[in-house]
Structure 1
Amino acid sequence: MLRKRKLLIISIVLIVTFMVTTNYLLTRLTTASEGDTEIKSIHEKIYKELENLSNKYEIRKPFEDEITDTFIKNINTFTVEGNIKNVWQIANSWVSKTMLVDFMSLHVGSLLLALKKSKIIKADLDGRGTQLKLLLTLEGHQDVIFKPKWYEKETIIEGPVYAGKDRYGSEIVGFYLSAILNMPLTPCSVERNISLTYEIMPVATKRLINTSFIIGNRTCIYGKCFYCKKEDPICEDKNFSLYGAVIFNINASLKSYRSPWQRTYKKNKKAVWEESDTYCKLVLQVLQVSIITTSLSK
């Protein structure tokens, strides 16, 4: 009798477990199926719209054009040897009204290597902008900007598009994207690993030293900028390393134009382009007038 009761209890438990498990799986599969249908529908709409696009929007594979192929070849070629000043002089000679970098130059690879490896002979604060940056002078007396790493690449920052701090990787991506698009208007930028303790502080200016302190044997800097504060410093890791982007500082006077697509950076205030459906036409009209005025003045 006792054995029969045990078998009955076990059977009931198995039946209940089977029913609960089956119901759970059916619910999950139904939800996933509905989600796949929705995603498929969105994809279908996108591809349907692509069929109606003008031919001028056709995109070639980026590695099939001559400029990109030459650029890739050049960044893997190191031709300038000896005096590092030669590299800086060549890079500064590229700057004109239409470009900041000559992607077709055989010396692009040498410049990127020099940015990554040249000895730092002076370190100062760069007070421009809203976030912490260092102004470094490399061997051969070339200034560069150093933007430090604040987050891991996988970190997701919640909030508006301007939430959080600058991602140093965007400087590097921007440079390579400008090459792929053949729009040489972004300065050369590379990733570099520096030591605040051993490379920066020995050659730091007094004002940089004044914004530095030690936390657990690690050097930290809070800098001088609009959002800089001691409570929010950048620190090297336990191996005395700090990753960031080194950006070539153009040795030329460039005229600054305010972007017509600039944000207000205020939660309750939108920019004109965010509210006006005809803003693109207005920008085009202003641009045309500017071109005509410039032509007449020559």
Structure 2
Amino acid sequence: MTGALWLDPALRCLRAPNPGPLTGPGTNTYIVGRGAVAVIDPGPQIESHLQAILAALGLGETVARILVTHSHRDHSPLAAALSQATGAPVCAFGDSLTGRSAVMERLAADSALGGGEGVDPAFRPDITLPDGARIAVGAEQLQALWTPGHFGNHLCFLWRGHAFSGDHVMGWATTLVSPPDGDLTAFMDSLDRLEALAPQRLFPGHGDPVEDGIPRIRALRQHRLHRKAEILKHMTQGPATIASLTRAIYTDTPPHLHTAAARNVLAHLIDLTETGRVDAHPAPCADATFRLRKNS
């Protein structure tokens, strides 16, 4: 994608030049409104992308708000430079530690848990947006929906019956849930919250718009339930590690994605441990051994 693609008379999309295995064709930056606009997910710290965002603004248009779905380095770092260039405040749920569950806070104290891939530790919003916050930008109204799971501070933004879904729901791939920033229990709950609002279209952080939001949300939920069932089935054969489960379950996944797949397996095992289905020795971490709990 070169330049801005108009998805609606009040919505433009630019794609950052950061394609990759976990970013697909690149990060989507959205410009919402006409005149006074909101920019959603400025993207990675790439000067050419900053200039592309500024060039996409029409004559006399101003950036009134910079909205960030979550603070991974492919979404949030350019926010500070865009704010400096436009004077617009950066708005998000909080910094990179905000929104973690008590379980993840406890597990994060164990350095063996791993994780932290792609986090933007320096991210600090100018304005914090609580769950349900309404954002008025010119003639447009958006609403923040806290959707932890992929990341503790993840927000979706509701707009005209649609949703900017960040990395919570995408059409081209399933979502990475890497503890402690990712939390599978929270992810499943957030899918329920988003589905209950029945968004028509989803504008994700990567890839093309999802034209029918509800079936995609349900497909992601079913995918996670299927992976959970696969994990439990393989564990009936005896104790397992994250590595052994990843090899057994992700047979259809290219090997270069197995590191990410292993993080999803860990997220499932933490959820199963917390719900009493599985025991971990020692505590859940990247190198632990996991066993089905008797009478589970």
Same fold (TM over 0.5): no
Instruction: Give the TM-score, by structure 1 length.
Output: 0.24
* Larger Rg computed on CA atoms: 1
Select the structure with the greater relative contact order (CA < 8 A; seq sep ≥ 6): 1
Q: Give the structure with the larger strand fraction.
A: 2
Q: TM-score, normalised by structure 2?
A: 0.24
Kindly indicate which of the two structures has a greater share of residues assigned to helix. 1
